[in-house]
Amino acid sequence: MASGFMSFISSVSFFLRATIWVIPLSLWADESPEWLIDTRYASRVVFRGIEQAGPSAQSEGKFIRENFSAGWQASEPFARSDTRLANLSLAHVWPSASGANLEVSVVNRWFSAVPDNEVRGALELGLAVKLSPMQGFSPRLSYSHDVRLRADTVQVGVARSIALTRLGAFLELNGLVGWSDGDNWRPEATGLRRHDSYSYWGGSAEVPYRIGLHTTIIVGVHYADAMGRSASNGPFGRSEQHNLWISCGLNLEF
């Protein structure tokens, strides 16, 4: 437990050092960089259909320069026994005039307080295609390969934005379905590698409401479920299904 906690602290320290390193990138271009900072409360932490922690405070930051972005995410559960999550990501996007784009990314994840300390980290390489909007819907297809977990994930998503004219806001709807297959879901566990395949799906409805030039309040309802996951060989997480949770937070742009 102590080593896992120190690993989490080390990852947070790494995020801070990375942020300090990224700031000088703004000096290389004529325009000011765009920073997105998001802090929120979530009644559950769910990743690809699997609940990993209960009520938590979450934070996310992203630096965007033209088609390049660098960011971090962290989740701190209120219960000390729950799993803590953190990641650092880099991405590059090739946009098109039609609204479609191609994105490549790399995400390094750290975990603390995983049961039996069976997973400490993951390194995922991703490729995603966002298609041109069709009848108000924006489809997205992604593929990712996790080097440490030896896992492949395919996910299809669709998004739609509906204007709430009377509120002066938008209703942001998102749905997704995915499938994962891995040969080493518990890399720190003793014995043979843990192979498992499972599918998942979910959706969310969020209302971002701008309260200032750079400030937006976001309230959301989310649902996700996973099917076919092995409790002993599959990705770590709680066994609960039919995950329904709420979130609320503040988004800053500068």
d(CA 157, CA 68): 22
pLDDT of res. 33: 58
pLDDT in single tens digits along all 254 residues of the chain: 444 444 445 444 544 444 444 444 443 444 555 899 999 999 999 999 999 999 999 999 999 998 999 999 999 999 989 999 999 999 999 999 888 999 999 999 999 999 889 999 999 999 999 999 998 999 999 999 999 999 999 999 999 999 999 888 999 999 999 999 999 999 998 888 899 999 999 999 999 999 998 999 999 999 999 999 998 899 999 988 899 999 999 999 98
User: b/e string for 150-163 if b means 16 or more Cβ within 10 A?
Assistant: ebebebebbbeeee
For residue 148, what are the domain limits?
A: 2-253
Contact (CB, 8 A) for 217 and 209: yes
Please list, in sequence order, all residues whose beta carbon lies within 8 angstroms of the beta carbon of residue 9, skipping any fewer than 6 positions away.
none
CATH of the domain at 66: 2.40.160.40
Which tokens in the block code for residue 35? 């920073």
Contact (CB, 8 A) for 238 and 50: yes
What is the pTM (predicted TM-score) of this model? 0.85
| Number of structural domains found in the chain | 1
